[in-house]
């Protein structure tokens, strides 16, 4: 596997993990917002090919994933009332 394919696999893995974690938000509003932000961020950076830029974006993504995981944990501690759309 060459370098570009390896980086692509890592990006796709991070993308899937972020979507999976975002879908675990107990609140419908936070969940839909997080999913939309993750998709939009990856789409906006879809054409980036410079290895240093890709690595910087990957690090930002890993930090965002950690933030999502913390927020999901906090959200589960404090149960929110269900909205009409749920």
Residue 84 pLDDT > 80, yes or no? no
Q: Which among 1, 2, 42 has a CA at the least distance from the CA of 18?
A: 42
For the chain, the domains span: 3-78
Instruction: Grade residue 60 by pLDDT with cuts at 50, 70 and 90.
Output: very high
pLDDT score at 78: 82
Task: Give me 56's structure tokens.
Answer: 């910087």
Task: Give me 45's structure tokens.
Answer: 């950076």
Give pLDDT tens digits for 10-51. 999 999 999 999 999 998 999 999 999 999 999 999 999 999
pLDDT score at 1: 53
């Amino acid at each position: 596997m060459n370098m570009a394919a390896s980086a692509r696999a890592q990006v796709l893995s991070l993308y899937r993990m972020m979507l999976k974690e975002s879908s675990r938000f107990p609140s419908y509003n936070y969940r839909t917002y997080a999913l939309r932000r993750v998709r939009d961020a990856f789409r906006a950076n879809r054409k980036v090919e410079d290895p240093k830029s890709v690595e910087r974006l990957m690090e930002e993504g890993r930090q965002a994933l950690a933030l999502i995981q913390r927020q999901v944990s906090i959200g589960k501690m404090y149960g929110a009332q269900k909205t009409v759309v749920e």
